[in-house]
Structure 1
Amino acid sequence: MARVGTGVRAFRAVLAAVLGASLVGALAGCSSTGGKRAEDARKAAAAQGRSAVNTPKWTIAMVTHSGDGDTFWDIVQSGAKQAAVKDNINFLYAHSDEGQQQAQLVDSYIDKKVDGLIVTLAKPDAMKAAVAKAVRAGIPVVTVNSGAEQSKAFGALTHIGQDETVAGEAVGEELDRRGRKKALCVLHEQGNVGHEQRCAGVRETFGGDLQNLYVDGTNMPDVQASIEAKLQTDRAIDAVVTLGAPFADAAVQAGKSAGSKAEVDTFDLNAKVATGLRDGSLGFAVDQQPYLQGYEAVDLLWLYRYNADVLGGGRPVLTGPQIITEKDAARLQGYTERGTR
């Protein structure tokens, strides 16, 4: 029996030595690749619907100026929800394309004492008092997409999005490169300052003639009919610029019905736009990366709550513009089909 006990003790000693050596090797490996492994773990946790942090379950609400059925905001929400999973955030979303109703939605979330707010300022005058109320209540606010000029003055931590004037200027320059002489800028939401800035930016750099066309973006048949009528009466128009991805297809159909050869270009990207770029029915698109806007807005509010971090240094955090053409569409097709670009 004594010899058996000695053998067992010897085996345990050897096993302990082996396990110890393995542990040392594992720790050594972590020291050199710990950052990557930690990042992989965070991504895996998010993909499986698990939080990658152990901070409190804060609630963050997003209120946008989106109308019903606008796929652009589906992409924004996709990014926000992914960040919310990673950051252990309870994410809430509401929208209205009426400025006063949007402000009332913000007020309702203030009353619920949310831990952070994400808002758009497409109609800043209607939103000013609501944002100020949130700031007074100690609720940190991040603005996204619209309102870069008003964000800081209204008390927001930072703004995430593209500079709409700069984006418009990029479109004007691209139209010039393509030899266009007369363009139509289709505004689908009256009163949206960002839309006005886009068309003004195009006008600033475009060497040709630019005309604005106001349409009812909530009525797609009306959008198509309005563009078609304009193309029929003015055959000199050789480019149509829509300000949102869902309206690009309406412009393409309008051009076909009108017998127009005008190139259709658009702001924003989705799966249908990527397909249009590949088959040549669209010329180019301006991507402002909406997924990134939603993701970063949630992540920055989490960082502020957790560590008082603020990005931007008082200036907007830009997510665009990026000109997307046929050569880029194939590479991005998979992302657009899964709803993240």
Structure 2
Amino acid sequence: MAKISNRTIAAAAGAAALVLAGCSTGNDDPAGSGGSGGSGSDECVIGMTQINQTAAFFTQMNEGAEEAAKEAGCELTIANANNDPAKQNSDIENFTTQQVTGLIVVAIDVNGVLPAVKAAKAAGIRVVAIDAELEEGAADTFVGVDNEAAGAEAGQWVVDNGLASGSYGVVDARNSFIQNQREDSFREVIDAAGATHTQSVNGDNVQEKAATAAQNLVTAEPDLDFVYTTGEPATVGAVAALDPESKTKVIGWDLTAEVIAGIDSGLVTAVVQQDPRQEGVEAVNELEAILGGAEPQGFIDVPITIVTQDNVDDYRAIFE
């Protein structure tokens, strides 16, 4: 998104819109509906920069944040970066201009987002990162999963269930720092146990691209025992690309209705499931507490669950 040329006008318009709007629907552009100003501790005006509005993981996170903001009496605007790091930086800059008091960052690029985040902190804005951890000191608190540890946990599950003796490929998202962590730590565990890695293909965290990448992978490597997918678009894409009767199974991250259907058919063996709604709740509650004078917690761990046919029924209602 191009930067707004007249920041004063944008800030004034944004302030008026946010006072009227309260919580956003989660699809707003901060230039049009952004924050209401000031750094007073009695104000809880939050800007949230989200990666996209298509993945269920992110929409559930938004829902949790919106519910928590309504409960806390905070004003919340969510800006959709639509997988574009440049737009995400611009959105953060706009929130800073609008003088929000709190910022939630779901980073596409944890390094590329730093200049805008640091400028926001320098302006007195409190920052919470969700899902992707920023460098030390960039955010007051990180809410989410230890992705490196969770990737290793998934790998150990594969080893413990006797699935690490064959060959596998990976559908990843090389533009995602955390998905690279999930891949590296998973591979380290299962490769040490004897699994054979063939190749990794890039789905760019976009479902259609991931489906094509998965199809290309299994066409080139028809005898794979399983495909490891590092995020929701890759998992959904792999499920769409693979024949449910195939000997190649899917082990990956993040449930959707399509992925649950894959578990039911036997195509999907296991899924690392996070709790994105709770991550959104925790982020807003943490900012409300910090703005009220509490010390930042630094890290709020939201545990994972490995979902299989044995426990998938616990999640069906979420994705109906």
* Range into which the TM-score falls when normalised by the shorter chain: 0.7 to 0.9
Shift in Å, 1:224: 2.3
Work out which of the residue numbers 135, 145, 157 in structure 1 matches 2:140.
157
- Aligned counterpart, 1:248: 235
Per the alignment, residue 264 of structure 1 pairs with: 250
SS in 2 for 1:126: coil
Query: Structure 1: any 5+ residue segments left out of the alignment?
Result: 1-54
Q: 2:308 aligns with which of 313, 322, 325?
A: 325
Partner of 1:103: 89
Partner of 1:130: 116
**Which residue is equivalent to 1:226?**
213
Alpha-carbon offset, residue 285 of structure 1 = 0.8
Q: Which runs of 5+ in 2 are unaligned?
A: 1-40
Question: 1:215 maps to which residue?
Answer: 203
Shift of 1:219: 5.8
Question: Of residues 59, 77, 80 in structure 1, which corresponds to 2:45?
Answer: 59
Counterparts of 1:92 and 1:113 in 2: how far apart (Å)? 12
Is contact 1:166–1:321 with CA below 8 Å preserved after alignment?
A: no
- Could you say which residue in structure 2 is the equivalent of 1:5? none
Query: What SS does the aligned partner of 1:326 have?
Result: coil
Distance in structure 1 (CA, Å) of the matches to 2:241 and 2:207: 14
What SS is found at the alignment partner of 2:112?
A: helix
Query: Does the Cα contact within 8 Å between 1:115 and 1:140 map onto a contact in 2?
Result: yes
Aligned equivalent of 1:276: 262
In structure 2, give the amino acid aligned to 1:311: Q
Alpha carbons of structure 1 residues 272 and 183: separation in structure 2 relative to 1, 3 Å: same
Amino acid at match of 1:173: Q
The change in CA–CA distance for 1:287 and 1:123 in structure 2 (over 3 A counts) is same
Distance 1:219 1:120, change over 3 A: closer
| 1:202 and 2:186 correspond | yes
Task: Classify the secondary structure of the residue corresponding to 2:113.
Answer: helix
Question: CA 1:121–1:253 in structure 2 vs 1: closer, same or farther (change >3 Å)?
Answer: closer
Higher helix proportion: 1
Question: TM-score, with normalisation over the residues of structure 1?
Answer: 0.74
Q: Rg larger in 1 or in 2?
A: 1
Change (3 A) 1:68 1:76: closer
Contact 2:229 2:252 (C-alpha < 8 Å) held by counterparts: yes
Matches of 1:231 and 1:327, distance apart in 2: 27
Q: How many residue pairs get matched? A: 273
Aligned to 1:14: none
C-alpha contact (below 8 Å) 2:232/2:255 kept by paired residues: yes
Change (3 A) 1:68 1:333: closer
Query: Retained in 1: the 8 A contact 2:144–2:302?
Result: yes
Question: 1:192 offset after TM fit, Å?
Answer: 1.4
Contact residue 207 and residue 234 of structure 2 kept, 8 A: no
**SS of match in other structure, 1:292:** helix
Q: Residues 216 and 302 from structure 1, CA distance in 2 versus in 1: closer, same or farther, beyond 3 angstroms?
A: closer
What per-residue deviation string (whole Å, max 9, x for no partner) do you get for residues 59-103 of structure 1?
Answer: 111112x23522211010011011011100111101322222211
Measure how far apart 1:201 and its partner are: 0.8
Separation in 1 of the partners of 2:67 and 2:52? Answer: 22
